Amino acid sequence: MSERMETGCCIAGGGPAGMMLGYLLARQGIDVTVLEKHGDFLRDFRGDTVHPSTMQVLDELGLLEAFLKRPHQKTERVALHLNDRAYEIADFTHLPVAARFIAFVPQWEFLDFLADEARKLPNFRLMMSTRADELLVDEGRVCGIWARTDDTTFEIHSPLTVACDGRDSTLVPAAGFEIEEKGAPIDVLWFRLPREDRHGEGESLGYMKAGGFLVTLNRGDYWQCALVVRKGADALVRGEGLEAFRARIAHLAPHLGDEAEAIERMEDIKTLNVQVSRLECWWREGLLAIGDAAHAMSPVGGVGINLALQDAVAAARILAKDLKAGSVRHETLEAVQKRREWPAKITQAAQVFAHDRFVIPALEAEGELPVPWPVKLLNAAPLLRRLPARAIGLGPRPEHWRGG
C-alpha cells in the first residue's frame, strides 16, 4: 500500500533534536510530522545527561517542573578518580540557571516526556515504526521523503525536511552532503552493574588509572558503565575473556569488584563506535540536518544530547517564520548552520584535545598516572570549579526560548 501525505515540516528521527524541534514548531502553530524508525525509545546507547542548559530551556517553556517529576538522578558536583584518589573538578551549584545540576535521565524517559507534551498539540504527529528511506526531489529541490512501515509506503510532501536521524543517517548520504572526519581514537564498551547503596556514592563518576578509563552513570538501582578502549580494541578485549574483563573493572574501581561478577557473559557488553565528524554544509534546498546527523560527537563530557537539543531550539526559532509562510529560503537554512556550527566546532575541538592529551595517554600508560596540573588546581581551588561547570553545563552559545 502507498499513501500520500502533506505536512508543514517533516522531521526524520525521533531523538532529542527531532522531538524537541517537532514540539517547538508545533507549539508555534506549524503542522509537524516526526518519523521514528523504532517502535519505542528504549535503547541504551542513547545519552543520559540532561545538562543545566537544556533544563533552562525547559524552564523557559514551563516544562521543567513536570520533567523533574520523571525518574532522574541529580549530580551537582563532578569528581574524577585518578589512581584511587578523588579530585573534585566541577561544581554546578553556582550556575545562573533554574536547575544547577546535571540530571541523569535514561533517554527514553526524556523522549517519552517530550512526546507526551507534543501529543497535546493538535498539529503534531509522531509516526513510530516508520523509517525515512529516500528523498523526494523535484528539479534539485528536496520536497519531502519516502517513508516506510512494514506494510505501508508513505509519500510525505513538505516545504522542509529535517534530518535528525543521527550519525547513521540515511538522508545525509542521500543528499550528497560531504562529511569532515575529525577522528576518534577510542571506542566505548557499554554494560550494566548492580548499584549497592552501601557504597554511599550517588554521583556519577570517572575512574582513571594506567591502562584504563571507566565512567559510571547512576541509574538508580544500577550503574550504566562505559569502559573506554582504543579504537578497534574491542576484539582484543573480548578475546581476553570474561574473567579478564571483570578484573579490568576491579582494577579501575576496586569498590565495584564484587558487582563486576554480575556480568555473566561477554554478549552483555555492547560496543559503541565513537565518531567525531561534521558536515561541511548542513543544508540544501528543502533539507536541513541538525544534531548528530550534522555533527557526531564523542561521549567525552556527555554533551552530545545537549548540543543536539540546542540545535533544535535555534532551528525552531529561526525557521518558524518561513515555515508559517510555506516556503523556506536558503538564507534561512544557512542562518541555522551559521548559528550552531561554531558551538559544534568548539565542542569537538575540546573533545579531540581531551582524547589526545588525557584519555589516550592514560590508556597507554604503565605504572601510576601523573595527575595533570589542571586537575590538581581545580581540586585545590573550589572557586575555579565553576569554570568547567559552565563549560560543561551551559556550553558555548547556549540557546534560550522566548517564543510562545
Q: How far apart, in Å, do the first and last CA atoms of the chain sit?
A: 39
pLDDT-derived band at 182 (thresholds 50, 70, 90) equals confident
* pLDDT tens digit sequence for 170-179: 999 999 999 9
Q: What is the mean pLDDT of residues 131-144?
A: 94
- Of 307, 88, 305, whose CA–CA distance to 203 is shortest? 88
Residue 372 DSSP one-character state: P
Contact 30, 10 (CB under 8 A): no
How far, in Å, CA of 206 to CA of 145, rounded?
Answer: 42
The hierarchical CATH code for the domain 186-230+232-272 is 3.30.9.30
**Domain segments of the chain as ranges:** 2-75+103-181+275-353+388-393, 186-230+232-272
Contact 1, 152 (CB under 8 A): yes
* pLDDT tens digit sequence for 230-246: 998 989 999 999 999 99
Q: Is the pLDDT of residue 47 over 80?
A: no
Long-range contact pairs involving 141-150 (C-beta distance under 8 Å, separation at least 24): 141/285, 141/286, 142/175, 142/284, 142/285, 142/286, 142/287, 143/286, 144/10, 145/10, 145/12, 145/35, 145/171, 147/12, 147/35
Query: Residue 240 has which C-alpha cell?
Result: 581476553
How far, in Å, CA of 229 to CA of 362, rounded?
Answer: 10
pLDDT-derived band at 168 (thresholds 50, 70, 90) equals confident
Question: Considering the chain, what is the average pLDDT of its residues?
Answer: 91
Q: Which residue has the higher pLDDT, 304 or 397?
A: 397
| Fold that domain 2-75+103-181+275-353+388-393 belongs to in CATH | FAD/NAD(P)-binding domain (3.50.50)
